[in-house]
């Protein structure tokens, strides 16, 4: 996935407006000055002149004297810190049929419990085929009740969150995940 390149603000000689609203490197508002004067002040401070806003008061660009390289570095650092703190939710899907055998059911439940304990969300999909559609209300509810009893037997039902139910014709699904426990 390609990331969009962020448009950088205009700096130093790239600024073409004849008059600028200037803020110095200490954050003080100097006021409305000419482009040449603003560039001289930035050069004297050995810093960059950076456009903060293209349209300030009276449609005059607002510029600030700052160390632009340092500003970019700090912004990039903040973004990487925010990215580190993000939590990616992984959803695992387990597909079942109402005619599932007991051993297959137990295997699926053990996989579901393993996924839940690993911190993943689990989507349980129930597929109805052919004549199973006629009795899907009862059979589907029975199977989800059986799944809940299995969770209760493995002592995870008290921490389990059921996110949503979806009944779309031949496919029923339900998403589960474990609540975060504070330690």
Could you tell me if 120 and 46 lie in one domain?
no
- pLDDT at position 13 is 77
* pLDDT(40) > 70: yes
Instruction: Answer yes or no: is 105 within a domain.
Output: yes
Sign of CA dihedral 144, 146, 147, 151: positive
% the chain with pLDDT above 70: 78
Name the token pair of 130: 């052919």
**Alpha-carbon separation of residue 182 from 86, 87, 155, 156, 159 (angstroms):** 18, 16, 18, 16, 12
Model confidence at 124: pLDDT above 70 = yes
Strand partners of residue 126: 96, 172
User: Which helix (H) or strand (E) element contains residue 174?
Assistant: strand 171-178
Residues 127-163: tens digit of each pLDDT = 777 666 556 567 777 887 888 888 778 777 666 666 5
Q: What is the mean pLDDT of the chain?
A: 77
Residue 183 lies in a domain: no
Q: Spell out a b/e string for 22-57, using b for 16 or more CB atoms within 10 Å of the CB, else e.
A: bbbeeeeebeebebeebbebbeeeebbbbbeeeebe
Q: Are residues 65 and 131 in the same domain?
A: no
- At residue 164, does pLDDT exceed 70? no
* Residue 116 vs residues 18, 75, 127, 130, 162: alpha-carbon distances, Å: 63, 36, 22, 32, 12
Q: How far apart are CA 8 and CA 1, in angstroms?
A: 21
Structural domain span for residue 101:
91-178
d(CA 79, CA 106): 44
Provide the 3-class DSSP secondary structure of residue 119: coil
Task: Pick the last residue of a domain from 81, 108, 138.
Answer: 81
pLDDT in tens, 51-103: 887 777 778 888 888 888 888 888 889 888 888 887 777 888 888 887 888 89
Predicted TM-score of the model (pTM): 0.48
CATH code of the domain covering residue 49: 3.10.20.80
Looking at the 3D structure of the chain, how many domains does it have? 2
């Amino acid at each position: 996935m390609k990331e969009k390149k962020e448009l950088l603000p205009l700096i130093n000689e790239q600024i073409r407006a004849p008059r600028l609203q200037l803020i110095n490197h200490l954050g003080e508002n100097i006021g409305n000055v000419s482009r040449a004067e603003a560039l001289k002040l930035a050069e004297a401070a050995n810093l960059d002149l950076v456009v903060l806003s293209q349209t300030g008061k009276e449609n005059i660009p607002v510029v600030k004297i700052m160390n632009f390289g340092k500003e970019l570095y700090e912004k990039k650092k903040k973004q990487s810190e925010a990215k580190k703190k993000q939590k990616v939710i992984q959803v695992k899907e387990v597909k079942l049929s109402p005619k599932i055998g007991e051993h297959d059911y137990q295997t699926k439940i053990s996989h579901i419990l393993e996924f839940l304990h690993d911190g993943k969300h689990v989507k349980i999909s129930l597929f109805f085929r052919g004549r199973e559609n006629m009795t899907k209300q009862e059979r589907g509810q029975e199977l989800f009740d059986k799944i809940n009893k299995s969770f209760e037997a493995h002592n995870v039902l008290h921490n389990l969150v059921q996110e949503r139910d979806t009944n779309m014709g031949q496919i029923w699904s339900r998403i589960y995940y474990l609540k975060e426990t504070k330690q």
